[in-house]
């Protein structure tokens, strides 16, 4: 079996996501679902905003750090800004309807053996596969 650099980078990235979600739950008792973290900043509870804001700042700074080191990893957008904005609205509505996002259900929920997260994750994957089949995927 030949391990391409892309496969190795994906495995390392997946491991880092799993480790970070585990550390957040173990040390803070919090689930690392991005929609829940953002929701807690948008609709704050007293004393519960600082860690959420710092987490989001860390996401942005981490992305900027990766961009500074390997700008080629960031491809030009495949769709127009309006299409991306509309997709973002659909994702936002979906996370509200599904009580969480792909990171919350797929990473954190499945690792806690949540049946609701299993159903949600299978729905995300199926919907994505159908969308790719209908649209022809990225071009």
DSSP string, 102-138: HIIIIIIIHHTT-HHHHHHHHHHHHHHHHHHHHHTS-
Residue (of 48, 47, 67) closest to 59 by Cα position: 67
pLDDT in tens, 69-92: 988 888 877 888 899 899 888 888
pLDDT in tens, 32-58: 888 888 888 999 988 889 999 999 999
Q: Is the pLDDT of residue 65 over 90?
A: yes
Q: How many CA atoms lie within 13 A of 61 on its CB side?
A: 6
pTM attached to this predicted model: 0.73
**Does residue 109 contact residue 116 with C-beta atoms inside 8 Å?**
yes
The helix/strand/coil state of 66 is: helix
């Amino acid at each position: 079996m030949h391990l391409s650099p892309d496969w190795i980078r994906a495995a390392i990235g997946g491991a880092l996501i799993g480790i970070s979600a585990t550390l957040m739950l173990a040390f803070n008792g919090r689930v690392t679902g991005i929609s829940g973290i953002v929701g807690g900043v948008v609709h704050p509870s007293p004393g519960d905003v600082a860690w959420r804001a710092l987490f989001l700042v860390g996401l942005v700074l981490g992305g900027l750090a990766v961009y500074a080191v390997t700008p080629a990893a960031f491809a030009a957008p495949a769709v127009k800004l309006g299409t991306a904005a509309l997709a973002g609205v659909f994702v936002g509505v979906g996370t509200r309807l599904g009580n969480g996002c792909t990171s919350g259900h797929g990473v954190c929920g499945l690792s806690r053996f949540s049946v609701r997260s299993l159903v949600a994750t299978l729905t995300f994957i199926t919907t994505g596969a159908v969308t790719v089949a209908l649209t022809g995927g990225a071009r």
